[in-house]
Amino acid sequence: MSPTDLIPPLYREGASRIASALGEVNNILVAGHADPDGDAIGAAAAAGHISRFLGKKFMLYSRTGLPRSLAFLSLPGVVYSSLEHSPFSPCGAVLLDCNEAHRLDQELTHYLPKLVTINVDHHPGKGMGTSANWIFPQAAATSQLVAYVALHLGIPLSGALADAVAVGLITDTGGFRHNNTDADVLRLTAHLVETGCNISLLRDFLENDWSLERLRLWATLMSRVRLERDNTVAFCFAMADDLRKNHCLKEDLEGFVEHLRRLRGVRVAALLLETSQGTCKFSLRSAETSNAFAMASALGGGGHINAAGGTLRLAPEQAENVLLAAICGQLDEEKIS
């Protein structure tokens, strides 16, 4: 079996197109969305490993650096937090896990017009690549798409590259629990295991590295959870002070909203976080066919059917009312009781 045989038919054209585009660009800036999660970092690390394999000069970029929770990953290079200190003048950019400029940080957004761009993402949208786009919502994770690019190029999915792909898959499938865990995901994961990737160890790194401060933050927020719409919606509001008082970062809230979805009878779980004065971010998780994406997109956000989010430039009380109205309105439209 050749490496390309491991690429499902629906993914082959896109993998080929991105592989060709990578071959034509040099001095590459590799970046995901602002405040990157496991899939954004996993996809960026995997793209960096591919670039190194191809003999390309590249740099990894994230304005906020590498999240503390992902410090265990073996990266192909340093993560630069400022383009002022880049090791070379980039000619091209590989943009991962985002397909709209507003999801990038401001510094990178201003820099993009100077670059040839390649855009790979699994969120719905048009894409912002000037050289090539592969926007494929059927994929469970952007890391999955990058893995298929590697396979098309004949690059073995092993070692640190395999770990990067696996971290993206684990985080964006909720540890293989979400309904995006399809046969293609499981086949790719099986291949990673066959080449030596230790999935259980990676999950241990991801899930069992809490601080006492994080535990206390969650305890505070759990006491604030309430049920709405005849117990079908679980809602929690996190204040900026909650993070400060507990010496926590935004990344310490990762996974919190998924736990709210575990409440019996809940169709949608919502976490609203005050990020600055007059601005709140929201995260939604939904059950089965309840459409979190529709709720988020009605408020200018995005995501997937069961996991979505966005930003509301409103004071907390207003943001709460607007968010709950969007959630309840969608559930009413779906005739969910």
Q: Are 242 and 220 in contact (CB under 8 A)?
A: yes
Asked if 3-207 and 212-333 have one fold, the answer is no
Q: What is the C-alpha to C-alpha distance for residues 307 and 293, in angstroms, rounded to an integer?
A: 7
- For the segment 2-53, what is each residue's pLDDT rounded down to a tens digit? 778 899 999 999 999 999 999 999 999 999 999 999 999 999 999 999 999 9
Residue 1, pLDDT score:
67
Residue 198, pLDDT score:
98
CATH class, domain 3-207, is: alpha beta
- For the segment 139-163, what is each residue's pLDDT rounded down to a tens digit? 999 999 999 999 999 999 999 999 9
pTM given for the model: 0.92
Cα torsion angle, 61, 94, 146, 170, sign: positive
Residue 117, pLDDT score:
97
Q: Per CATH, the architecture of 212-333 is what?
A: Roll (3.10)
The domain locations on the chain are 3-207, 212-333
Residue 277, pLDDT score:
86
- Of 37, 244, 57, 219, nearest to 123 by C-alpha is 37
Please list the pLDDT of the chain residue by residue as tens digits (337 residues).
677 889 999 999 999 999 999 999 999 999 999 999 999 999 999 999 999 999 999 999 999 999 999 999 999 999 999 999 899 999 999 999 999 888 899 999 999 999 999 999 999 988 999 999 999 999 999 999 999 999 999 999 999 999 999 999 999 999 998 889 999 999 999 999 999 999 999 999 999 999 999 999 999 999 999 999 999 999 999 999 999 999 999 999 999 999 999 999 999 999 999 998 899 999 999 998 899 999 999 999 988 899 999 999 999 999 999 999 999 999 999 988 7
| Partner residues linked to 302 by β-bridges | 309
Q: Are strands 279-286 and 116-121 parallel, antiparallel or unpaired?
A: unpaired
Report residue 143 as tokens.
């890391």
